[in-house]
Structure 1
Amino acid sequence: MKSFKSFPFQSLPFILLFFISFSFIACQNNGSTSETKPIDSVALKKEEARIKKEINADKKAALIEQIIQQKLKEGFNGNILVAQKGVIIYQNAFGFANFEDTLRNNLQSKFQLASLSKTFTAVAVMKLAEQGKLGLDFTVKDYYPNFPYDGITIRSLLCHRSGLPFYQYTFDKTVRQSKVYPTNQEIMTWFANAQPTPSRFNLPDHYFGYNNTNFAILAALVEKVTNKSFEAYMRESIFLPSGMKNTFVVTTKNDSININRTIGYQYGRRVAKDYYDDITGDKGVYSTLGDLLLWYKALRNNTLISKESFREMIMPRSFEFPGLRNYGYGFRLWVNAKQQTDYVYHTGWWKGYNTIMFFDPREDFVIILLSNRYNRTVYNIKQLIEVMHGGSSTMEESILDE
């Protein structure tokens, strides 16, 4: 099996890009401006048909439909999309966005991405690092002098090697007694003022320990160095440049987030607003299937950050325990025996929502499942991967449960 190192992250095939670029040629006839030539739709359709035949899209779609029907029998409620080489092979919406009002999910339904949101936070941090606004080797104390822990670099936050305590448990009594919905900046203040200082689990960079605190702090840092709310920065610098017009951070004041917004359900009940719902960076992004496909394309095409930065993000960072699972900067990784990245993904779970976005950079396919009624079949994608690989896979049945 080829490692990721041998795969040049590419966009659509050359011919498709040629026709798209050709449509923008103007300024002819001695400097006079002519009308922009339209994209050759016939050529585009021919190219799409060629790709579909090359990847055997129709057969894959039929097999995926069988897999999804089984998931429905096991309680799946949500949306799914599978695409390869710029062609959507399968997409569909199932079940209800709101069970009380019997509003059905549709392809425009917006789901809380839960920890899949971490991929956006990590890219935002890398973008700011490229711009020199944030240093990966700087510590949290460089930006928050009253932060009580030494030696916590931005890198250690990105790859969950900080050893910090979990904010959810550390301040659980505080939020429930005061009945407040804290912000990321308030969490930073709570860490600075807590007496005694909450004990950390490990010294920094000693062990991998998946921890939402890391990405809540990263979101606070984004706000600190940009002088903008996390929501505003993500909308202006990440979502809109990627074409993701239906993606929002939960704290947005834009009412359009409520259009096609789903409700989370778990154990047969609607999940009420949580005291930590307004903490973002570790969770809190709402998006659609279509926008997440655009997110995949933005990552693949280096729309937001350089190819070098993205390669750095998907390098495995933790080797204390041998195995095929690892973590980069904001992305979970499936590695081979040489500890090189074969697959890139992230899962999520938060208050009834569970999600996964999984992609293979070599074969250029992406699998996205979004559910607003907690169901473990979301993470069971081995059969889908086998379909995309033509019948074989070394993956375990369940990728990961948050």
Structure 2
Amino acid sequence: MSLLKKTNIPQILFSILVLSSCGNDKKIQPNTIAEVEDTLPKMKPLGPEAKISQVYINSVTGRINHFYVKNWPNNTMNGSFLVAKNGQIIFERYNGFANKNEGTKITAETPVQIASVSKVLTATAVLKLVNAGKIDLDQKVNTILKTFPYEDCTIRMLLSHRSGMRNYAYFTDHDKSVWDRHNQLTNNDILEILATKNVGLEAKTGTRFSYCNTNYAMLALIIEKVTGLKYKEAMSEMIFKPLGMTHTYVFDDDKDRKKIVPSYKGNGVEIGFDYLDNVYGDKNVFSTVRDLLKFDRARNAPGFLKPELLKQVYTGYSNERKGTKNYGLGIRMINWDSGQNYYFHNGWWHGNTSSYIPLQKENVTIIALSNKMTTKTYAVRKLAPIFGDYPFKFKDEE
């Protein structure tokens, strides 16, 4: 028996070593792909909200419909229009052609160019990165975009339009030594021009408000640099996918020309593309009113931003002149002496006009999108007095 034990002990030890070795080998198999943690800060949908009563719906829809009929008689609106409370749609209309040549009509699932309302979405992505500690509001832009030439400019200044930069649509328009309009302009081209062409500032950085699309073209590049993703991918991963915005995307001029909803002049003539159509961040998000409603409600979700940061979003930064109009971090505002505040953002690009209005105290969302040129899209602000103490002249439409 003792001889048998002596014989088996080495075999047993050998078996243990082999098994142990196999276990270690399993951990370092060359074909095994390690999971990489997704560190992108993402929007989260707002949970269930208080259900509104049919009595309430009946009390407001008549007035909304009256406004709609007066503003767009005989259903002359070419676009989409929605009013919701607590995330529940109480009024919506879809009218006109998505594409006149093809005879397709605009529906709830038709994405149209939301123009400068895109800035609200770009700002939201930047703010989520700030909230996650990946960048700082007062961080200098040239610490992220190394060739950015304006040393004193910060992310906060880009968001609030206080960089002093000139609009890229103007400084690339006439001078061929700056840009040849036969070539499509990109965000990186704009940065290169700023760095090398000495286009100069419109005003000293940080001294005054000047609404400028260049600010948001640079913010889109910051999103790309910080996330390591193209802007359209970052927006999809951070905002569109998490919120179920299935009909929302960033336009890619090289790929999407033939499939997008075109825009039209007021007389119905289609508006073509130009050399500025590849720039994003300031525009070029295509969406629907229902998708934008999802986005709006998510901005009201607990934990959207830390309270102190959220407060800064709705703070006016342009107080060098006394007045009620101001601009926060990616949102326009009117601040009345009564203490009432009204937040909104409008947009215009080619024949597309848009208006996004979150009445925060009342949990009401008003959105209008049109792909046929009209300023009546902006008149939807006159619906605000239906829901709260907003001194707009609703009766003008009666």
Tell me the residue number matched to 2:193.
190
Deviation of residue 97 (structure 1)? Answer: 1.1
Corresponding residue SS for 1:316: coil
Corresponding residue SS for 1:274: coil
Q: Within 5 Å, which residues of 2 pair with 1:1-400? A: 48=51, 51-53=52-54, 56-73=56-73, 75-173=76-174, 174=176, 177=180, 179-194=182-197, 197-251=198-252, 261-268=260-267, 269-302=269-302, 304-337=304-337, 342-389=341-388, 393-395=390-392
Residues 274 and 341 of structure 1, relative CA distance in 2, 3 Å threshold: farther
Residues 341 and 199 of structure 1, relative CA distance in 2, 3 Å threshold: farther
Q: Alpha carbon RMSD of aligned pairs, Å?
A: 2.4
C-alpha distance in structure 2 between counterparts of 1:253 and 1:310, whole Å: 36
Which has the larger Rg? 2
Corresponding residue SS for 1:57: helix
Judge conservation of contact 2:368–2:380 (CA < 8 Å) in 1: no
TM-score, with normalisation over the residues of structure 1?
0.80
Deviations 1:84-142 (A, max 9, x none): 12321101101111122222111111110100000011111111112222222121221
C-alpha distance in structure 2 between counterparts of 1:112 and 1:84, whole Å: 24
Deviation of residue 179 (structure 1)? Answer: 1.5
Deviation of residue 353 (structure 1)? Answer: 0.3
Identity of aligned residues (%): 32
Deviation of residue 381 (structure 1)? Answer: 2.3
Deviation of residue 302 (structure 1)? Answer: 4.3
Structure 1 unmatched ranges of 5 or more: 1-9, 18-46, 398-402
Judge conservation of contact 2:181–2:275 (CA < 8 Å) in 1: no
Kindly provide the amino acid, as one letter, of the partner of residue 130 in structure 1: N
Residues 384 and 336 of structure 1, relative CA distance in 2, 3 Å threshold: same
Judge conservation of contact 1:96–1:105 (CA < 8 Å) in 2: yes
Deviation of residue 11 (structure 1)? Answer: 5.8
Residues 315 and 144 of structure 1, relative CA distance in 2, 3 Å threshold: same
Residues 177 and 132 of structure 1, relative CA distance in 2, 3 Å threshold: same
Kindly provide the amino acid, as one letter, of the partner of residue 395 in structure 1: F
C-alpha distance in structure 2 between counterparts of 1:169 and 1:277, whole Å: 14
C-alpha distance in structure 2 between counterparts of 1:108 and 1:188, whole Å: 35
The farther-off stretch of 306-315 and 160-169 is 306-315
The farther-off stretch of 274-283 and 123-132 is 123-132
Q: What is the aligned residue count? A: 346
Kindly provide the amino acid, as one letter, of the partner of residue 57 in structure 1: I
C-alpha distance in structure 2 between counterparts of 1:86 and 1:297, whole Å: 6
C-alpha distance in structure 2 between counterparts of 1:253 and 1:149, whole Å: 31
C-alpha distance in structure 2 between counterparts of 1:310 and 1:252, whole Å: 34
